[in-house]
C-alpha cells in the first residue's frame, strides 16, 4: 500500500488505446521540448513489443513537425540477440514503426551490435553508454553514478516483466552492471540483453504503457491495494525521477 497515493496521481486510464496514443504523443513531445531547450539533447529509451505501435501519433502532424528530432538520442531498454532485420528484433520493430518516419540523425540511434554474442553485445552496449555519459550526451545520476536517461518508455508483459527482466530470474537483482544478458528468457527468443534495474530506476522520467485486459492481473498486483511481497519486475520500477502510467480500460479493468 505504501506509495499508492503518489502512484495514483500518475496513473491515467484511457477509454481506448487510440486515446492513450494521443496523450502519449503529447507527453513525449512536451518532454522532448523541455530537454531540448534545457540541455540540448533528449535521451529516449524504447522498449519492444506493443509500445512502438502506441507511439504512432508522434510521427503524425502536429508532432512530426514540432519535435526537434535532431536533439533525440534513442536507446533500447532491451534487445533480442538476433540480426537487426529479424522479425524478433526490437530495433527492427522500432525502425519500421517509428524511426524510419522521423528525421533523426542516424548517428543518434544506438542499436545493439547484432554481430556479437549475448555477453559481447551487453558489454559493448555498456561501453557505448559509458562513452555517452563521459561526453554528457547521457546525464549521470548524482545519487549513484548510474546513467540517467531523460525518458524511458517501458512496456510490460502479461507476466509483469519489463525490459528483459523476468519474475524470479536472478537478473532482477543485478545491482552493479548497467547492461546485462539473459540466455534463458522464459519468453522467446531466449537470448537477450537488457538494462538493469539501477539504470531503469535512475531515469528522470519513466512512462509505463500498458494495453489490454491480458495485463490486468499484473497491473492490479502493482497498482491495486493488496500488494504481494513477492514483487513482479514491474513492481520494482521505482525511479528517482517521475513515473507515469498510461493504461487503457482493459489493462485497468481489475483495479
Ligand X SMILES: O=C1O[C@H](COP(=O)(O)O)[C@@H](O)[C@H](O)[C@H]1O
Return residues touching ligand X (CB under 6 A). 47-51, 77-78, 90, 155-157, 163-164, 187
Cβ-based nearer residue to ligand X, 165 or 202: 165
Residue nearest to ligand X (CB): 49
Radius of gyration of the chain (CA): 17
The span from the CA of 200 to the CA of 156, in Å, is: 13
- Which residues on neighbouring strands pair with residue 148, listed in sequence order? 139
DSSP designation for 76: E
Tell me whether residue 41 or residue 74 sits nearer to ligand X (CB atom): 74
CB 45 → ligand X: shortest distance, Å? Answer: 10
Contact indicator for 201, 243 with CB cutoff of 8 Å: no
Nearer Cβ to ligand X (28/36): 28
Closest contact distance (angstroms) between CB of 2 and ligand X is: 26
Comparison of 103 and 168: residue with beta carbon closer to ligand X: 168
Least distance from ligand X to the Cβ atom of residue 70, Å: 26
Quote the cell numbers at residue 101.
518516419
SS3 of 243, please?
strand
Q: How many CB atoms lie within 10 A of CB 77?
A: 26
Closest distance of CB 157 from ligand X, Å? 4
CA distances (Å), origin 246, targets 30, 63, 135, 203: 16, 19, 33, 17
Q: Tell the residue number behind the cell numbers 512530426, with chain if given.
A: 64
Give the H or E element holding residue 42: strand 42-46
> Whole-number minimum distance, CB 145 to ligand X, in Å?
25
Smallest separation, CB 177 to ligand X (Å): 18
Are 73 and 41 in contact by the 8 Å Cβ rule? The answer is yes
Contacts 24+ apart (CB under 8 A), 32-39: 32/67, 32/68, 32/71, 32/72, 33/66, 33/67, 33/68, 35/71, 35/150, 35/151, 36/68, 36/71, 39/139
| Residue 140 beta carbon to ligand X: minimum distance, rounded to whole angstroms | 24
Nearer to ligand X among residue 48 and residue 250 (C-beta): 48
Question: Cβ closer to ligand X: 72 or 76?
Answer: 76
Nearer to ligand X, 77 or 118 (CB): 77
Amino acid at each position: 500500500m505504501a506509495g499508492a497515493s503518489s502512484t495514483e496521481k500518475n496513473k491515467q486510464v484511457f477509454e481506448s488505446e487510440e486515446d492513450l496514443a494521443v496523450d502519449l504523443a503529447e507527453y513525449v513531445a512536451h518532454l522532448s521540448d523541455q530537454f531540448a531547450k534545457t540541455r540540448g539533447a533528449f535521451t529516449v529509451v524504447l522498449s519492444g513489443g506493443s509500445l512502438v505501435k502506441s507511439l504512432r501519433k508522434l510521427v503524425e502532424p502536429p508532432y512530426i513537425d514540432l519535435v526537434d528530432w535532431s536533439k533525440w538520442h534513442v536507446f533500447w531498454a532491451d534487445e533480442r540477440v538476433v540480426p537487426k532485420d529479424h522479425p524478433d528484433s526490437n530495433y527492427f520493430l522500432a525502425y519500421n514503426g517509428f524511426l524510419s518516419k522521423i528525421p533523426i540523425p542516424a548517428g543518434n540511434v544506438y542499436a545493439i551490435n547484432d554481430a556479437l554474442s549475448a555477453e559481447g553485445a551487453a558489454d559493448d552496449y555498456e561501453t557505448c553508454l559509458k562513452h555517452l555519459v563521459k561526453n554528457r550526451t547521457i546525464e549521470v545520476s548524482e545519487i549513484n553514478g548510474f546513467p540517467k536517461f531523460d525518458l524511458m518508455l517501458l512496456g510490460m508483459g502479461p507476466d509483469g516483466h519489463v525490459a528483459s527482466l523476468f519474475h524470479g530470474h536472478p537478473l532482477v537483482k543485478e545491482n552493479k552492471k548497467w547492461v546485462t544478458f539473459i540466455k534463458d528468457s522464459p519468453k522467446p527468443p531466449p537470448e537477450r540483453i537488457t538494462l538493469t534495474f539501477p539504470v531503469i530506476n535512475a531515469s528522470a522520467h519513466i512512462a509505463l504503457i500498458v494495453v489490454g485486459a491480458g495485463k490486468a492481473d499484473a497491473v492490479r498486483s502493482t497498482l491495486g491495494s493488496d500488494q504481494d511481497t513477492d514483487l513482479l519486475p514491474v513492481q520494482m520500477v521505482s525511479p528517482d525521477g517521475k513515473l507515469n502510467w498510461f493504461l487503457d480500460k482493459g489493462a485497468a479493468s481489475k483495479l
